[in-house]
Each structure stands twice: as C-alpha cells, then as structure tokens.
C-alpha cells in the first residue's frame, strides 16, 4: 500500500475511534494533520522542475539532430502562428549550420507563458539558451523555447545570431520594396492628375494600383503623357474584356488589360 494511503487509513481509523464526546477541536486538528501528511507524502512523487527541464532539453537535442538530416523536423503550429517572421524551414536550416558537438547550455528555465501582447500564449514552456560554433568556426548564440502538450515537448521558437541577421535583412528588404512601391504609386498619381486635368474624359479610366506590367497585359504601346487622348484610350479599352487601367512604365503611360 502507498505510504500516503496507509497514513490516511490510520487517520480515518483514529478519527472514528474517537468518542463523540471529544472536543470538536481535537477532531478538526487531527483531520488537518492527517490531510497535510498525505499531501506531503504524495507530493514527493510529483515531477520536479529539473526533470521537466531535462525532458525539454532531450526534445531540443532530438530536434537539433533531425535538423541536420534530409528529413527535417516539424515545429509547433502555435509557434509558427504567433512568430510568423521565421518559418520552420528558416529555423532548422540555421540550426543545421551549427557544429553539434560545440553546443553548450548556458541557461534553462520553466515558463508559464511566452511572448508579449498578441504573441503571448500560456502553457508549459521550457526556455533554453546555448553557445555554439557554426561550421565556419564562429561563436553563435542560440535560443529555443519548447512547449509541452499532452506530455510531449515540441519546438515552439528557435533563433540564433545568424537567423536574427537573416530576419533583419529580410525586414529591411521588405521595407525597401514597400517604399519603392509607394514612390511609384505617387509618381503615377501625379501623372494621372496632370492628364485628367488636361483631358477630363480620361477620368473614366482608373489607375493600375496593384497590377504588374507585362507584355501580355499591354493594350497597344505605351504613350507619352502629353500624347495621350481619351478617344485612343476608349478604343483600346474595347479590346479588354477584363479591367482596363493605366500604369506607369518609366515616364510613359502603359494601358493594361488586367
């Protein structure tokens, strides 16, 4: 019999054998002490923090091992949704650049929640930081967060110095593309305003805000803004069963069938 259960049994027997004339205080005290003793006994069998962290570390090592193979590991779905700046492929490709034997854990701790704001999610997490060397011999810092669901740890988040650099460059590239698109749109708006002011009938033809220019979409040749006419554009629009719009290619206006 479990010692805790035996202790509970002795407590119950002891309380039953107590005569009803005994004070209620003695009965209440006995019951409280018995319950406390049982809780302490059973609590000794529960998982400790170190055991949970060891499980997380083992799962991370398995993920690292799989990252260097032709059968790359999967990642926690919620982690990809909450931290979508890096894909699972980004994570295991950068993890595979590390010399496996060089990894050393610098810290590990349990977390009840991870992330901030909309990225925040609560559950059972283990956060692990490591130092390592990449295949070029450079020192790299790695960080990983694993989430346990139904007793199984899965990689939730992984970053390294190299992955951070990749994400920053990608973000800067996206901003450059967005800035270039805004500049191009501003130029088109300026030209469009000028030709419509000169020929109000051109107002019936909208600007191409999202269309990409290609030869297959062109309706006739591009024209200089000073040479454009509403009659010519109306004739070209009849050749387009889809959306007819005006784009800007260099300094010329390109009629598109988008």
114 Cβ contact list (under 8 Å, min separation 6): 120, 121, 125, 127, 145, 147, 156, 157
Phi-psi region at 167: left, alpha or beta (left = phi > 0; alpha = psi -120 to 50): alpha
User: What pLDDT is attached to residue 32?
Assistant: 40
pLDDT digits (tens, 9 = 90+) for 216-228: 899 999 999 999 9
Cβ neighbours for 66, distance < 8 A, ≥ 6 positions apart? 72, 73, 92
Report, in this order, helix, strand and coil percent for the chain, each rounded to 5: 50, 25, 25
251 pLDDT exceeds 60? yes
What is this structure's pTM?
A: 0.54
Cα(103)–Cα(111) distance, integer angstroms: 22
For position 17, what pLDDT does the model report? 42
Q: Which CATH fold would you assign to the domain 49-168?
A: Nuclear Transport Factor 2; Chain: A, (3.10.450)
Is 63 strand, coil or helix?
helix
Where do the domains of the chain lie? 3-43, 49-168, 173-257
Best-predicted range by mean pLDDT (116-125, 165-174, 177-186): 116-125
Per-residue pLDDT of 149-176, as tens digits, reads 999 999 999 999 999 998 888 877 666 6
């Amino acid at each position: 019999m479990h010692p805790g259960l035996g202790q509970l049994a002795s407590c119950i027997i002891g309380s039953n054998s107590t005569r009803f004339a005994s004070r209620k205080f003695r009965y209440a005290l006995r019951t409280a002490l018995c319950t406390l003793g049982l809780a302490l006994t059973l609590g000794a069998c529960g998982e400790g923090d170190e055991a949970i962290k060891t499980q997380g570390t083992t799962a991370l090592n398995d993920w690292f091992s799989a990252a260097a193979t032709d059968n790359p590991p999967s990642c926690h779905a919620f982690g990809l949704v909450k931290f979508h700046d890096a894909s699972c492929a980004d994570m295991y490709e950068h993890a595979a650049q590390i010399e496996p034997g060089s990894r050393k854990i610098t810290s590990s701790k349990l977390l009840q929640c991870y992330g901030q704001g909309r990225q925040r999610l609560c559950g059972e997490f283990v956060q692990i930081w490591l130092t390592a060397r990449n295949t070029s011999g450079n020192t790299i810092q790695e960080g990983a967060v694993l989430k346990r669901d139904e007793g199984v740890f899965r990689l939730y988040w992984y970053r390294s110095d190299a992955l951070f650099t990749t994400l920053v460059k990608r973000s800067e590239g996206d901003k450059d593309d967005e800035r270039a698109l805004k500049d191009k749109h501003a130029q088109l708006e300026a030209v469009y305003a000028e030709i419509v002011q000169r020929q109000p009938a051109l107002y019936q033809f909208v600007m191409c805000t999202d269309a990409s220019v290609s030869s297959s979409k062109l309706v006739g040749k591009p024209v200089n803004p000073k040479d454009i006419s509403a009659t010519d554009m109306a004739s070209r629009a009849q050749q387009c069963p889809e959306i007819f719009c005006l784009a800007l290619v260099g300094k010329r206006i390109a009629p598109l069938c988008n």
